[in-house]
Structure 1
Amino acid sequence: MEYIELKIEVATDYADILVAELADLHYEGFVETEQGLDAYVPVDHFSDAALLELSKKYQELFEMNYTSQTLEKQNWNETWEKNYDPVIVGDQCIVRATFHEIAQNYPYEILINPKMSFGTGHHATTTMMIAHQLEMDFERKTVLDMGCGTGILAIMAEKLKAASIDAVDIDDWSVENTIENVALNGCEKIKVQKGTVETAQLADTYDIILANINRNVLIHDLPFYDQHLANNGFLVMSGFYDVDTELIETTARKYNLDSINHKTQDSWYSIIFKKHSI
């Protein structure tokens, strides 16, 4: 089958929006790049008109520039094998596809469907979130993963012995992909649903909330995280730049959330907040 490769220049904060929209247009593969996003679609489903409509839809939110080219006929799985490398986090966790051969074993292993490489752990925010998780106590904890994407953080939570995990995302692609990866990893404690923190069927409180989204959504959702986070619970957030840290920490303090740890990588930032009783 022949594919069209789309190279999109877009701010990283909005790449996840494009993934959701392009998935509805039959795009089958996504790769994060320094410039934004590469996306792949069968030739029969490619439409410049659809891309123009998509650009117009979000023109007030972000600018989207792209180039396209037709790829030669090839074995799609072989293409992914050449371009999708395993990710090692802190020498404790490996994120890989089923076709990867590993030279050594790690305490934790997460399998992600290779045809959907967006959310495989390659992005700095995902890597930092997993690194935070590896340093925390998840055993017998209740967990909410907001904006679950591929389900990678929810899967990590179950492997760290969480009691139950709710994984929520706003778009169908993410929900379907999370369900697929949950099954691939043999997870049994993850409940996946479509929605937002306002519309999803959530538990009253959680011991840990994971949210790797973007600055504006995180700030908007902070009062809802406060509502659903147990006293002395932890909120782990990423998806924003280091320059946004002061704004996020200032807003979080309004909800009795104190920053207790952070990580930074490639100008991206992540924070662990702890909720204290008033």
Structure 2
Amino acid sequence: MDYLKISIQITPFQEWLRDVLNAQLAEVGFDSFIETQTGFEAFIPSDSYSEESLSTVLETFSDNFSFVVESEFIADQNWNKEWEKNYFKPLVIGGECLIRAPFHTEYPETKYEIIIEPNMAFGTGNHETTATIIESILQNDLKGKTILDMGCGTGILSILASMKGAEQITAIDIDKWSYEGTQENAALNKITNINAKLGDASLLGEEKYDLIFANIHKNVLLNDMPTYYSVLKKRGTLIMSGFYTEDIQDIVVKAEELGLTNAGFMEKNNWVAHTFVKPD
């Protein structure tokens, strides 16, 4: 899949505006973001890009801010080189989990080591949403549990869950890159208990899970939460991320309408990972 990288410089730079723009651009098809000192880089499949949609988002703030926008075409075969050159560095989360690429040669030793082949799939641990769920996984006992990983991206959360002792993991993503990447990364880490599927929440049926991760955009979470509830075991845990602190109320209202119990949240740079529990 070919991508476009849209680099946006904000003047005067405001961190809150960068977060708002990321959220709004996610609603029009952008699926990955990387922060820069004066703005950010946003990535979108080239066949999904609309210059008009981008302009509409930026024009909302044009009275008080100016934007310098540059675009770069990234062919699918070049994505690994792009990450290797600019973005994907060895990363340690929670003091226990190292995430690295096969081409890294210098990195610290940790309790858990995950090797990720970088591609356009979301999830190398650099983004706050992935990092906060990883921290939650590190804090929980997953031994013998069944796991559902919605919006699995590179499969990084599923791989860590397996390393933490999960019995069986179902990993689902609507993106072909993610589906294939999850399979490849599972093999790369010698993980054999991840069942990757290409699709969305409509694939879920009668199976039940002890723990569900859902790292997806807010509107998808709100739409699919009833399905997550239906496949979550009693006393099971649902961890959702992919939204901002200002979205917490909408997420909590929907969850409590379904009968889920609020178990608190983790926040990092205004991104949230919120935990809910299904009662007996």
Instruction: Give the length in aligned residue pairs.
Output: 252
User: Does the 8 A contact of 1:142 with 1:207 survive in 2?
Assistant: yes
Indicate the SS of the match to 2:98.
strand
Q: In 1, Cα distance between the equivalents of 2:217 and 2:122? A: 15
Q: In 1, Cα distance between the equivalents of 2:176 and 2:143? A: 30
Q: Give 2:50's match in structure 1, choosing from 52, 55, 59.
A: 55
Q: In 1, Cα distance between the equivalents of 2:144 and 2:79? A: 43
Residues 181-192 of structure 1 aligned to structure 2 (within 5 Å): 181-192=185-196
Indicate the SS of the match to 1:240.
strand
State yes or no: 1:263 paired with 2:262: no
Q: Report the CA distance between 1:105 and its aligned residue.
A: 1.2
5+ long unaligned stretches in structure 2: 9-20, 59-67
State yes or no: 1:168 paired with 2:179: no
- The verdict on how the C-alpha distance between 1:78 and 1:4 changes in structure 2, with shifts beyond 3 A counting, is closer
* Structure-1-length-normalised TM-score: 0.79
- Match of residue 144 from structure 2: 140
User: Does the 8 A contact of 1:84 with 1:117 survive in 2?
Assistant: no
- Match of residue 11 from structure 1: 22
Indicate the SS of the match to 1:182.
helix
Residues 218-257 of structure 1 aligned to structure 2 (within 5 Å): 218-257=221-260
Identity %: 34
Q: Give 1:32's match in structure 2, choosing from 25, 31, 34.
A: 34
User: Does the 8 A contact of 1:89 with 1:130 survive in 2?
Assistant: yes
Deviations 1:10-62 (A, max 9, x none): 62465597467xxxxxxxxx763354545599xxxxxxxx66x7317x949x7
User: Does the 8 A contact of 2:121 with 2:153 survive in 1?
Assistant: no
Q: Report the CA distance between 1:254 and its aligned residue.
A: 1.2
Q: Report the CA distance between 1:118 and its aligned residue.
A: 3.6
* Structure-2-length-normalised TM-score: 0.78
5+ long unaligned stretches in structure 1: 21-29, 42-49
User: Does the 8 A contact of 1:113 with 1:181 survive in 2?
Assistant: yes
257-266 or 135-144, larger mean C-alpha shift: 257-266
User: Does the 8 A contact of 1:93 with 1:107 survive in 2?
Assistant: yes
Deviations 1:56-102 (A, max 9, x none): 7x949x7489523589xx99748715532111111010111112234
- The verdict on how the C-alpha distance between 1:128 and 1:221 changes in structure 2, with shifts beyond 3 A counting, is same
Q: Report the CA distance between 1:125 and its aligned residue.
A: 0.6
Q: Give 1:215's match in structure 2, choosing from 214, 218, 223.
A: 218
User: Does the 8 A contact of 1:31 with 1:117 survive in 2?
Assistant: no
Q: In 1, Cα distance between the equivalents of 2:44 and 2:200? A: 28
Q: Report the CA distance between 1:8 and its aligned residue.
A: 4.5
User: Does the 8 A contact of 1:32 with 1:118 survive in 2?
Assistant: no
The amino acid that maps onto 1:80 is: E
Q: In 1, Cα distance between the equivalents of 2:205 and 2:164? A: 21
Q: Report the CA distance between 1:162 and its aligned residue.
A: 0.4
